[in-house]
Amino acid sequence: RANEKPVKRSLAKSNAHFRKALTRLPLGVASNFRYWGEDKTIYVKRGKGGRIWDLDDNGYVDYRLGYGPAILGYADPRVDEAARQGMEVGGVFALGTEREYEAACRISRMVPAAELVRFSNSGTEAVMAALRLARGYTGRSGYVILEGGYHGLFDAALWTSDVDNWDPGSKTYPALIPYSQGVPEIGRQLIHQAPMNDADYLEDLFKRRSGEIAAMLMEPIQGNCCAITADPDYVRAVRRLCDQYGVVLIIDEVKSGFRVARGGIQSLMGVKADLCTFAKAMANGYQIAALAGREDIMRRFGRGVAHGGTYTAHSVALAAANKTLEILEETPALETIAGYGLRMQKGMSRILEARGIVHSFSGHPSMGGLFFAEKPPRNYRDWKTSDYSFYDAMAQHLHDQGVLCEPDSREPWFVCEAHDEGCLETTLAGFERAVDLTID
């Protein structure tokens, strides 16, 4: 048990840059989520493999991986070389290329539900297109999301549960509220929120309202809510109910796709979505996403449902996707990643058990959540109403030990192929010390 004083890493250069950046960028950053507080916001100099370095040259073993994309590790030479070759092709042409067919074939081979494929630039765009397609196909406008799910930064997805103003003892469900100012109130008329792992609730909703519901949008592993995981039985019940009531099942695999298995979470849970969305891991960080699904639904593109975009299937991103997917399909990269994740979790368990700290893991070893409770939460309300102060304090100490996870428990721990024995050693030594400092 280490009794030394906590080390506080200097963020002097990041802090100075923050003050400068604030004069030109709201919150001093390019995305709200990259702001961690005035003296805690980190600016990155570079990343390589499973590590990143900040402006102050602090190195970190990184388990955020840009919110998941760097599945092979930062600056992977195989993918970057492919991207360079993609650059030679010339960018975008407002015309098709042979490479997009190649990528579509690869995705169809890996994911049985992906009978046809289209590309987008981001997860948000892919999910937006999936929702529009489901609406075009069914002629209905409503849709269901699960509490705690995140599907991107577009108005129809920016709704959440008002758990802060909800009484956990009551028999009611938390109210649905916009996640952001600027989300039009009128959108409320179209959205229904359901609790995860409660098939009876969904059945009752479909019985009453399915005539107006086009789509059910779900992440079986909630990648933005500590990897809370749906029971496979629940996912299969959702599949059955969607079939019964003619609702298009959209499985959002933006985070789980090409990460938890070659065929994504659908293959692990034995379900086939009608439509599914991919992004993050498919190009090791290059900007591309995919929307894929049932042929009869996908063929509505071109028969009345709009889809496109100037930068769609950009030659650089597509070349990166083809190479990344080739590696993920044809090498044991995913087994290496899951194996590392499992060893890390076992190592963490040994440390926690030695101190009598009750804990559990959720999700998948390649994107796992850590809880200081006997069992992981079953839904968003369980998570929101549990005490995560130990996690938050520990995360701060971990950063000072050179191990970077999200400052709160919302993001899972993402593992990449480049996380090696050295990373594991740093992580477990840092974890042990961070836990001790948190107990003290």
Residues that bind ligand PLP (CB under 6 A): 67, 122-124, 127, 150-152, 219, 223-224, 252, 254-255, 279
- Which residues does residue 420 pair with via DSSP β-bridges, in sequence order? none
Is 388 among the residues known to form the active site?
no
CB of 170 to ligand PLP, least distance (A): 29
CB of 412 to ligand PLP, least distance (A): 10
Is 252 among the residues known to form the active site?
yes
- CB closer to ligand PLP, 76 vs 252: 252
3-class state of residue 144 by DSSP: strand
d(CA 282, CA 414): 14
CB of 126 to ligand PLP, least distance (A): 7
Catalytic-role residue among 54, 62, 76, 252? 252
Q: Which long-range contacts (CB under 8 A, 24 or more apart) does 389-396 make?
A: 390/438, 393/438, 394/434, 394/435, 394/437, 394/438, 395/434
* Closest to 337 in 3D by CA, of 424, 222, 225: 424
Amino acid at 421: E
User: Which residues have a Cβ under 8 Å from the Cβ of 20 and sit 6 or more positions away?
Assistant: none
- CB closer to ligand PLP, 72 vs 127: 127
Catalytic-role residue among 67, 234, 255, 280? 280
CB of 383 to ligand PLP, least distance (A): 16
3-class state of residue 233 by DSSP: helix
Considering only CA atoms, give the Rg of the chain. 22
Q: b vs e for 304-321, b when ≥16 Cβ sit within 10 Å of the residue's Cβ?
A: ebebeeeebbbbbbbbbb
Amino acid at 112: P
- CB closer to ligand PLP, 158 vs 394: 158
Is 272 among the residues known to form the active site?
no
- CB closer to ligand PLP, 79 vs 221: 221
Q: How would DSSP label each residue in 147-206?
A: TT----SSGGG-EEE-GGG--TTSSSPPPEEESSTTS-GGGGGGEEEE-TT-HHHHHHHH
In the bound state, the residue with its beta carbon closest to ligand PLP is 123
- CB closer to ligand PLP, 76 vs 125: 125
Catalytic-role residue among 150, 340, 380, 388? 150
d(CA 68, CA 284): 9
CB of 123 to ligand PLP, least distance (A): 2
CB of 86 to ligand PLP, least distance (A): 19
User: Which residues have a Cβ under 8 Å from the Cβ of 219 and sit 6 or more positions away?
Assistant: 146, 149, 150, 151, 251, 252, 253, 254, 255, 256, 265
- CB closer to ligand PLP, 248 vs 437: 248
Catalytic residues: 150, 252, 280
